A = this chain, B = another copy of it.
């Protein structure tokens, strides 16, 4: 680890595998398929570890991710962001290379235009209706009659094939405590299942009922009527998820390796070379019980948290860490290294092109590449 260029993104494969097992067990126990959201990992290596020995079945947040995974032969892809017609040509490209990406819609005009374009391209697009279970972002509210209306329109469209419904209970990120999370998971399930039932009663087939967010996926007690579970950050977890109570510090698979680059004894702080780009400016823990600043500092080799050492502030390439006492200067001389656990790993990982893989607490020679961009 001493030779890595810092800042570097570390991934503990053992923790990753444990996190994957946990989510697979949950999905298995609840009787639903797992369709991980690869927006977090953006890595074929991670995707394969989740699904093995089966081929990966993924959710993606960008068409660049879809193209990346299709390039590795992944064919079962759900694009989890509202589709718009201007992106149709790239989707057609994916269909033509054997990756019939499932699309999500909440708008009749978009459905009509996509159908027109698909018809011109002689391609039939697989689509799901996006539902809004908690007001978090997009989708039609589950009880809104527009669900059936849109379902019927899609059914009638010559080049659209309705697979079912999907939703994401994003407001689960603001739940306080286990009970609230369980209740929110049930809201997510019930909303999706009810909308699916209404579609079926209206004579519209609705095979897939896709729900998920890491917190609700881990809290759900029952997923009757749901066919698949989507979750992303569970593979790595992060400080925000610790704050939510869905994991512990020992479940954090990713950290940023940084070098201490300056001591400022007069002002009682150290500087490291992981700043706002490497850690991201995410401050999601600011609203939680434990505000983790821009990340918690840990021992570089063991990954053990150094309680009370926090990245308090970041500039673009500087992380500012107030010391607890002068002993910290001695323990962390300029040139030494620390690990930093970030608030929100989806944002932090996005700054890096690869993971340096650890196993048994040691750096392996594996480096897993990530995709990026749009």
Contact = CB atoms under 8 A, between A and B. Distances in A.
A267 B335 contact: no
Nearest to A173: B315
Contact of A316 (B39, B283, B317): B39
Given A113-B335, A277-B347, A353-B373, A318 B259 contact: no
B333 A109 contact: yes
Number of copies: 2
A263 interface: yes
B85 A335 contact: yes
Given A5-B374, A271-B138, A347 B107 contact: no
Q: How many residues of A sit at the interface, in one of the four size bands? A: 35 or more
Contacts of A106: 262
B281 A138 contact: no
Contacts of A373: 352-353
B334 A110 contact: yes
B138 A262 contact: yes
Q: Which of A264, A273, A347, A374 gathers the greatest number of chain B CB atoms within 10 Å?
A: A374
Interface in A155-180: 170
10 contacts: A2-B86, A5-B87, A39-B317, A81-B273, A81-B317, A109-B334, A137-B264, A170-B315, A276-B347, A283-B283
A263 B267 CA distance: 50
B317 A137 contact: no
A208 interface: no
A285 to B, nearest CB: 12
Interface in A68-111: 81-87, 90, 106-107, 109-110
Given A138-B261, A264-B138, A315-B137, A350 B107 contact: no
A135 B267 contact: yes
A118 B165 CA distance: 63
Contact of A261 (B81, B132, B278, B317): B81
Among A6, A262, A277, the one with the most B-chain Cβ atoms within 10 Å of its Cβ is: A262
A62 interface: yes
A61 interface: yes
A135 B144 CA distance: 56
Contacts of A6: 86, 374
A17 interface: no
Given A84-B334, A335-B85, A137 B5 contact: no
A259 B352 CA distance: 25
Interface string A119-150: 00000000000101001011101001000000
A110 B283 CA distance: 33
Nearest to A270: B138
A278 B373 CA distance: 9
A280 B139 CA distance: 24
Contacts of A315: 137, 170
Contacts of A244: none
A61 B261 CA distance: 13
B86 A335 contact: yes
Contacts of A139: 262, 264
Contacts of A141: 266
Contacts of A281: 280-283, 344, 347
A7 interface: yes
A317 B61 contact: yes
A32 interface: no
A165 to B, nearest CB: 15
